[in-house]
Amino acid sequence: MVAERRRVGPVEAIPENGCVLVRLGQVEVGVFKVRGVLRAYLNRCAHQGGPVCQGEIVPRYEEEIGPGGESLGVRASATRLDIACPWHGWEYDLMTGENIADRRYRLRAVPVSVEEGIVYLEVP
């Protein structure tokens, strides 16, 4: 399959730790900027096809365990961000596209690049 290169727009228009959803004909792609790094995924959840890229961007939760096995409480990660599908809450690591509960599932990544400050997608 020949991929098609499509221009999205200036890189600064994509908010830090945020997303811009773009429509290219029948295909929708979420373009994310995660701590300065661009990632792009098809807007289709691996669960039931939900609009995953329209969901909430949330920090990964971590639970720390003390030396005696006791929970020291739940806190939000300072570094890891996930995207949660608004249909059912399936949650994916934004950097890798992997589902955080079941790594057999992942989002379909779309190659994204920046040239002279302009974001491009390689659309399948």
Partner 1 sequence: MADVITADTEVVSDRRRGILANARREAEARRLDEVLIVDVDCHIMETLRFKDLVPYIDHPQVRRIVERYPSFTSIIPGGGGDREVAGRIFRDPPIVASYGHASPEQLLEEMDTIGIDYAFIFPTPMLNLGMSPDVELEVALAQGYNRWVTDTWLQVSDRIRALLYLPFGDADASYREVVELGERRGVEGFMVTSARTTPVHHRSYMKVYAALEERGLPIGFHGIVQWREGALAQLNRFLSAHAIGFPLSNMIHLANIVINGLPQRFPRLRWIFLESGLFWIPFIAHRLDNEYRMRPSEAPLLERLPSEYIRDFYFSTQPLEVPERPEHLEMVMDMIDGRRHLLYASDWPHWDFDLPSRVYDLPFLSEADRRAILGGNAAELFGLPTSVARRPGAGGDGR
Residue numbers at the binding site for partner 1 (CB under 8 A): 6-10, 13-14, 19-24, 28, 43-44, 48-51, 53-56, 58, 84, 86-89, 91, 104, 121
Whole-number minimum distance, CB 120 to partner 1, in Å?
9
- Rank residues 43 and 99 by Cβ distance to partner 1 and give the closer one: 43
Whole-number minimum distance, CB 20 to partner 1, in Å?
6
Measured CA distances, 53 to 80, 81, 89 (Å)? 17, 13, 12
Q: Could you tell me if 47 and 105 are in contact, meaning their C-beta atoms sit under 8 angstroms apart?
A: yes
- Rank residues 101 and 109 by Cβ distance to partner 1 and give the closer one: 101
Distance CA 76, CA 33 (A): 19
- Rank residues 95 and 100 by Cβ distance to partner 1 and give the closer one: 100
Whole-number minimum distance, CB 124 to partner 1, in Å?
15
Whole-number minimum distance, CB 78 to partner 1, in Å?
18
Name, in order, each residue with C-beta under 8 angstroms of 32's C-beta and a sequence gap of 6 or more.
14, 18, 19, 38, 39, 40, 41, 53, 57, 83, 94
